[in-house]
């Protein structure tokens, strides 16, 4: 009986993870595209663009971060993948979404504070340890994007 309940719970979580996880992922992806289009003019560069830094009227450190977790179904598939090796597409897409989200939040913060571009952008990720000693419990990955936002005179701004 106990085994049946456990199996039932497993199937429910797997289905829930698969269905809800997919819906949430596709919703997030289309939302990311809309926001990325809107933020395109707030250039975010990984280098300290010399001309912009020289012309800047003001600067400030800006950042964006997000903690993402993978759904139950993808975690299960990743476990199987661990047996045979190879790419784990489920993790790739979650991390990709996390990075895009973090960069967007950084750009949105820059825009909101009246800046035009972000230079010297760094993107870091850190795995957060699971909350229970047996390796179960919740776990997630934090993605942090940060850089120096610059306010540029009208003539120096990149065209949208």
CA distances to 117, 118, 148, 159 from 114, in Å: 10, 12, 13, 16
Restricting to residues 8-27, which ones interact with another protein according to CB under 8 A?
13, 16-17, 20-21, 24-25
Should residue 39 be labelled a site residue for another protein when binding is judged by CB under 8 A? no
60 vs 108 by CB, closer to another protein: 60
57 vs 117: CA distance, rounded Å: 12
Should residue 146 be labelled a site residue for another protein when binding is judged by CB under 8 A? yes
Should residue 111 be labelled a site residue for another protein when binding is judged by CB under 8 A? no
Should residue 109 be labelled a site residue for another protein when binding is judged by CB under 8 A? no
Should residue 127 be labelled a site residue for another protein when binding is judged by CB under 8 A? yes
Q: Which stretch binds another protein (CB under 8 A): 33-41, 58-66, 76-84, 107-115?
A: 58-66
Output phi, psi for 18, to 5 deg.
-65, -50
Binding test (CB under 8 A) with another protein, winner from 32, 35, 45, 53: 53
133 vs 128: CA distance, rounded Å: 13
Q: How many CA atoms lie within 13 A of 89 on its CB side?
A: 0
91 vs 111 by CB, closer to another protein: 91
Per the DSSP assignment, residues forming a β-bridge with 42 are none
- Exposure pattern of 75-109 as b/e (b: 16+ CB <10 Å)? bbbeeebeeeeeebebbeebeebbbbbbbbbbbbb
> Which stretches of the chain bind another protein, using CB under 8 A?
13, 16-17, 20-21, 24-25, 28, 48, 53-61, 63, 65-72, 74, 94, 101, 119-120, 122, 124, 126-133, 137-140, 142, 144, 146-148, 150
């Amino acid at each position: 009986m106990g085994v049946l309940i456990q199996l039932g719970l497993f199937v429910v979580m797997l289905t829930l993870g698969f269905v809800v996880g997919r819906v949430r992922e596709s919703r997030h992806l289309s939302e990311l595209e809309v926001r990325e289009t809107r933020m395109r003019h707030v250039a975010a560069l990984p280098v300290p663009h010399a001309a912009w830094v020289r012309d800047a009227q003001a600067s400030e450190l800006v950042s964006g971060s997000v903690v993402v977790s993978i759904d139950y179904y993808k975690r299960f598939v990743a476990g199987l993948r661990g047996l045979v090796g190879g790419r784990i597409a489920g993790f790739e897409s979650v991390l990709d979404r996390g990075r895009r989200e973090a960069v967007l939040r950084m750009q949105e913060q820059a825009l909101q504070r009246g800046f035009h571009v972000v230079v010297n952008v760094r993107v870091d990720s850190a795995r957060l340890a699971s909350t229970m000693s047996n390796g179960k419990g919740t776990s997630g990955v934090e993605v942090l994007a940060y850089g120096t936002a610059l306010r540029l005179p009208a003539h120096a701004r990149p065209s949208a």
